Amino acid sequence: MGGDRGPDVVIPGAELAAIRHPDFRFLLFGDQSRIAPLLERHPRLKEKSEIRHTDVFVAMDAKPSQALRQGRGKSSMWMAIDSVRQGDADVAVSAGNTGALMAMARFILKTLPGIQRPAIAAIWPTLRSESVVLDVGATIGADARQLVEFAVMGEAMARCLFGLEKPTVGLLNIGVEEIKGVEQVKEAARLLRELDLPIRYEGFVEGDDIGQGKVDVVVTEGFAGNIALKAAEGTAKQLASFLKAALNRTLMSRLGAVLAAGAFRALRDRMDPRKHNGGVFLGLNGVVVKSHGGTDALGFATAIDVAYDMVHNDLVNKISTDLAKLHLRLEPQAEVLSDTAV
């Protein structure tokens, strides 16, 4: 069990999820001597859980290659992902080291046929509700075909997560005019228009359209996606800080803040990062959900909620079916590759 606080967050988080999803059962990978006493205090989780002991852990600051070498076979992260491969578990949820988790997930589960690069999809709170944004940092750079694969995978995830029949999809670009933007983004737009996929492609979106909820799925490569996500998170924190300082300035404004406390609670609630927690790894033969490492039990439970939706709505099969259609159409244009042979 990873994350900044390990089982102290994961166990109470799983307890919350166990209550919300009575049909879920849990395999808990980690140090028995730490997990068992915690489970005693979480009886509803205990009756649905099985501990799989290991005392090998991937450090939060380990390099992916190092984690793969040292954690192979015996670390809690490895064992959790491997339980998905073996069919013991339907989905793995971890608050551990993102780079290591992706490297191991890719190594153990392999990418789906025809997929060269997996993606991490984030759930972004918007004015309308929430959107899926991918890739937010699994890999850097993406060619046109990879962007189209991200679109297909993100669209399937949005159907699973939001229950939408036809989520809308946009490509992140700078400037909405056709002339602007990088070549691969323009080429991806052309493919999305011309391939006649069962996707509601809405064209280019800009950075400020994400928070407006202009489309349900925002597609970009991992460097820009990660920076956009963090810039937005930073701005939210900055504004919260400014607001707090402003409300503390005078007695009158402090009094006003007391009266409006309910409103501020509602605002905090709406932007609560714990309620939008859960990065979904897409493009693998199995589902892995990454919880924020610094979250608490409520946040970890949200990541399990996301995992639940992915499993119950059969994410991997939806993606496989859609990718097969995509690759059938791309066939004459691109060679189908996969790393199942790695």
Is residue 253 close enough to count as binding a copy of itself by CB under 8 A?
yes
Which of residues 20, 41, 180, 193 is near a copy of itself by CB under 8 A? 180
Residues 211 and 271: beta-carbon distance below 8 Å: no
279: tokens are 């990065």
CB atoms within 10 A of CB 66: 14
Q: Give the binding range for a copy of itself (CB under 8 A) out of 106-114, 144-152, 206-214, 276-284.
A: 206-214
Q: What is the DSSP letter of 309?
A: H
Write down the least CB distance from residue 151 to a copy of itself, Å.
17
Is residue 234 close enough to count as binding a copy of itself by CB under 8 A?
yes
Helical spans, DSSP H, in the chain:
7-20, 32-40, 43-46, 64-71, 76-85, 98-109, 144-162, 183-194, 207-212, 222-247, 251-259, 261-271, 297-312, 315-330
Number of residues that bind a copy of itself (CB under 8 A): 64
Amino acid identity of 284?
A: L
Please say which residue, 19 or 236, places its beta carbon nearer to a copy of itself. Answer: 236
Torsion of CA 136, 307, 12, 8, to 10 degrees: -40
Burial class (CB in 10 A: 0-12, 13-18, 19+), 102: buried
Write down the least CB distance from residue 290 to a copy of itself, Å.
14
User: Site mask, a copy of itself, residues 61-90, x = CB under 8 A?
Assistant: x-x---------------------------
Is residue 222 close enough to count as binding a copy of itself by CB under 8 A?
yes
Is residue 207 close enough to count as binding a copy of itself by CB under 8 A?
yes
Which of residues 20, 41, 88, 246 is near a copy of itself by CB under 8 A? 246
208: tokens are 């400020």
Nearest Cα to 34, choosing from 5, 61, 58? 5
Residues 114 and 39: beta-carbon distance below 8 Å: no
User: Site mask, a copy of itself, residues 25-44, x = CB under 8 A?
Assistant: --------------------
Residues 6+ apart with CB under 8 A from 325: 197, 198
Residues 6+ apart with CB under 8 A from 293: 2, 3, 4, 60, 95, 96, 97, 98
Q: Give the binding range for a copy of itself (CB under 8 A) out of 83-91, 171-179, 284-292, 311-319.
A: 171-179
| Dihedral angle sign, alpha carbons of residues 60, 65, 67, 68 | positive
Which of residues 47, 50, 86, 238 is near a copy of itself by CB under 8 A? 238
Site for a copy of itself in 308-327 (CB under 8 A): none
From residue 47, alpha-carbon distances to 6, 15, 25, 43, 330 in Å are 21, 10, 9, 6, 49
Is residue 175 close enough to count as binding a copy of itself by CB under 8 A?
yes
Please say which residue, 171 or 323, places its beta carbon nearer to a copy of itself. Answer: 171
Residues 70 and 62: beta-carbon distance below 8 Å: yes
Site for a copy of itself in 107-166 (CB under 8 A): 126-127, 137, 140-141
Which of residues 50, 72, 166, 235 is near a copy of itself by CB under 8 A? 235
Site for a copy of itself in 257-296 (CB under 8 A): 257-264, 266-267, 270-271
Q: Give the binding range for a copy of itself (CB under 8 A) out of 39-47, 196-204, 236-244, 311-319.
A: 236-244
Which residues are near a copy of itself by CB under 8 A?
61, 63, 99, 126-127, 137, 140-141, 172, 174-175, 177, 179-182, 206-212, 220, 222-224, 226-239, 241-243, 246-247, 249-250, 252-253, 255-264, 266-267, 270-271
